[in-house]
Amino acid sequence: MNDPIAVTPVGAHGLTGQPHRVIVLAGTPNAGKTTLFNALTGIRAKTANFPGTTVEIRKGRMSGEEHAFTLLDLPGMYSFQPTTPDEEVARGVLTSPDRPDAVIAVVDATNLERNLPLASQLMELDVPVVVALTMMDVVERRHMRIDTDALSAELACPVIPVSARSGAGLDALRTALHQVLDADQPLPAAGCAACRGCPLATRYRWSAEWCNRCVRQQTTAPPRHTECLDRVLTHPVWGLAIFVAVMVSLFFVIFSLAEWPMAWIENTFAAATEWLGTRLPVHWSTDLLAQGVLTGVGAVVVFLPQIALLFLMLSLLEDTGYLARAALVMDRWMQKVGLPGKAFVPLLSAHACAIPAIMATRVMEQPRDRLLTILIAPLLSCSARLPVYVMIAGLLAPGNAVLAAVLLSSAYLVGLGAALGAAFVFRRTLLPGTHQPLLIELPDYRRPHWRTSGWYTLDRVIVFLQQAGTLILLFSVLMWFLASFPQAEPDATAVEPAGIEATYAGRMGQFIEPVLRPLGFDWQISVGVLSSFAAREVLLSTLAIIYGLDDPEDEPDTFMATMRRSTRADGSPVFTVATCMSLLVFYILAAQCIPTQIVTKRETGAWKWAVLQFSYMNVLAYIAALLTYQGLRLAGLG
């Protein structure tokens, strides 16, 4: 497979063209680099307890008293002997001819023996180095004592204890950066820094010996409550049951808490649409603003509260340390289908978006493991599917938060089951081979950091609103045009279809309807399905516009009310149980995100894998939706 990553020289040009210094954060995975990066720059990048989350170089600005710093957050690495593509990227930046002006060696103070070997290698780069000892709050809780003066003398560089979460030590770190950058002569080499080119085994022996001399109470027995919780949360049976219960509870909270802000957003857009219709003259531009822009965008924005709560809850769960335990529980099932243990990280991040999940597979050493994980990652339900899930849950279980939570949880579990099943098939056909077990360090249980989770949630909300203001707005206007023109003449004969059926959207929907009719989709839903291949959320804006324009004499109504009152030509409701369940199954399994296929091609180096991914997912979605709809019709729910 071709490695798609190209390292751009960092240079010495500021973000605004002013002279500045380039500072690089380097360290092992989970050493706290991204959290420190966020604290120093104010950029709220995502952090996690698993190796491999940071697979791209993040760039931010940090102002100093005398220098304008550009800070680069490198992917985690264990040594200068890379075994994964992201480690190659980190080494490439550190060893390129255009080297950074200084390096912050991020060292986890709770795991010095594992982190110091890399720090010793960073000392050989002939650039100023400052060591940031992170996790100092945990060190204090464990009653550990680290001789930082001795470590500074050993490495011949400043060693600054910091706690990025609380901000302790950040000012001292900035001061140390100023000092090493302004120093006329480099500090003399001493201790381990005096040795160059040592093999890793020698470095680890040195690290162990130094820790034995200068660290007290380095290891402590885990608290009793940690052992008790781990026995339950990682149990093969109880752990899985708790995982399912946690997910159901999460969606129950999402549905319960989001109900009133959703109603407020719906009513606001409905009132704005009605106001435009009554205050502005009758004209196509008025209809465009009311039925195209407000109706289309509002149909998607109304689900913003659920999306915000989903990211907030997942971030809080991650901060508590629970998701690492969930990784162990799911690893047992992943092994049964031939998935490597490291696939858990990308598959977990796929619940936010498949694109970063596919890129996160760079942490895998084996090309076949990477390819297998890339092919199945889009089957995990991403946040773009959530508005569709919520719409269907609202149609099937109006006002019932418990049933809606069960439906949403089932949708996520079906996606997970489909991913595991696809992995099982691929491992025994196209991609045979053995898998690697999951090696993961379980973090301490801790109180979630509400501020970090809040900033992360805000970032996701902004991204969602940006999409609503660009891509969804564009498609809403396009769909309004297709659903409004050409307008039927008043004396149109009965031979030609009248009303919205005569528009471009109507004709397009009727053209593709025979293919999707066996799934229970009428021509309106068929248009929505087709348009959602650009972005899944576009389904909602498309349905809102088409069904809203289908009866233009009605008063403006909320999106969900419009969907519930929609009927077919014979007067029967459109969204029956069979149709809703068929639509849900289709959107769980279908590949409807073209950018995902583009990233798949880029990461695998060949279009054939992107075509395979797109083809097998959509064939699977069609067959599963067909069986769902026809089965429920036979059961009398059609």
User: SS3 string of 86-105?
Assistant: HHHHHHHHHHCCCCCCEEEE
Residue written as token pair 């594992």? 114
Q: Which of 28-42, 127-141, 371-385 has the lowest mean pLDDT?
A: 28-42
- AA identity, residue 561: A
* Strands 145-146, 21-27: pairing kind: unpaired
**Arithmetic mean of pLDDT, 191-216:** 78
> What CATH number was assigned to the domain covering residues 21-216?
3.40.50.300
pLDDT of amino acid 446: 79
**Arithmetic mean of pLDDT, 101-109:** 94
pLDDT in tens, 470-492: 888 888 888 889 888 886 555 44
**Angle, alpha carbons 322-323-327 (nearest 5°):** 120
pLDDT of amino acid 186: 52
pLDDT of amino acid 242: 93
pLDDT of 362 higher than 80: no
CB-CB contact of 411 with 250 (8 Å): no
pLDDT in tens, 44-80: 555 444 444 445 677 888 755 555 688 888 888 888 8
pLDDT of 171 higher than 50: yes
pLDDT of 556 higher than 60: no
- Per the prediction, the chain carries an average pLDDT of 83
pLDDT of amino acid 280: 84
Confidence bin at 11 (pLDDT 50/70/90): very low
**Arithmetic mean of pLDDT, 194-208:** 78
CB-CB contact of 44 with 37 (8 Å): no
Confidence bin at 628 (pLDDT 50/70/90): very high
Burial class (CB in 10 A: 0-12, 13-18, 19+), 597: buried
Q: Given phi > 0 = left and psi -120 to 50 = alpha, else beta, which region is 571? A: left
pLDDT of amino acid 139: 86
Confidence bin at 360 (pLDDT 50/70/90): confident
**Arithmetic mean of pLDDT, 137-155:** 88
Q: Which of 52-61, 99-108, 575-584 has the lowest mean pLDDT?
A: 52-61
Confidence bin at 519 (pLDDT 50/70/90): very high
Cβ within 8 Å of residue 375, ≥6 positions away: 422, 426, 600, 609, 612, 613
The one-character DSSP state at 523 is: H
The runs of H, that is alpha helices, within 108-199 are 112-122, 136-141, 148-155, 170-182
Both tokens of 537, joined, read 């959320």
pLDDT in tens, 410-442: 999 999 999 999 999 999 999 887 766 666 667
pLDDT of amino acid 427: 92
> How far is the C-alpha of 373 from the C-alpha of 360, rounded, in Å?
10
The count of other CB atoms within 10 Å of the CB of residue 471 is: 14
Q: Which of 72-76, 145-149, 445-449 has the lowest mean pLDDT?
A: 445-449
pLDDT of 24 higher than 50: yes
pLDDT of amino acid 222: 59
Burial class (CB in 10 A: 0-12, 13-18, 19+), 573: middle
* Strands 215-216, 145-146: pairing kind: antiparallel
Confidence bin at 195 (pLDDT 50/70/90): low
Among 6-15, 251-260, 573-582, name the most confident range.
573-582
Both tokens of 68, joined, read 């304008």
**Whole-angstrom distance between the N-terminal and C-terminal Cα of the chain?**
47
Confidence bin at 18 (pLDDT 50/70/90): very low
> How far is the C-alpha of 269 from the C-alpha of 208, rounded, in Å?
63
pLDDT of 373 higher than 50: yes
Complete edge-to-edge strand list for the sheet that includes strand 129-134: 58-63, 68-73, 21-27, 102-108, 129-134, 159-161
* Strands 145-146, 58-63: pairing kind: unpaired
Of 549 and 432, the structure prediction assigns the larger pLDDT to: 432
pLDDT of amino acid 12: 38
pLDDT of amino acid 34: 81
Of 81 and 587, the structure prediction assigns the larger pLDDT to: 587
pLDDT of 250 higher than 80: yes
pLDDT of 157 higher than 70: yes
Alpha-carbon torsion (209, 215, 217, 219), positive or negative: negative
pLDDT of amino acid 1: 36
pLDDT of amino acid 525: 94
Residue range(s) of every CATH 3.40.50.300 domain in the chain? 21-216
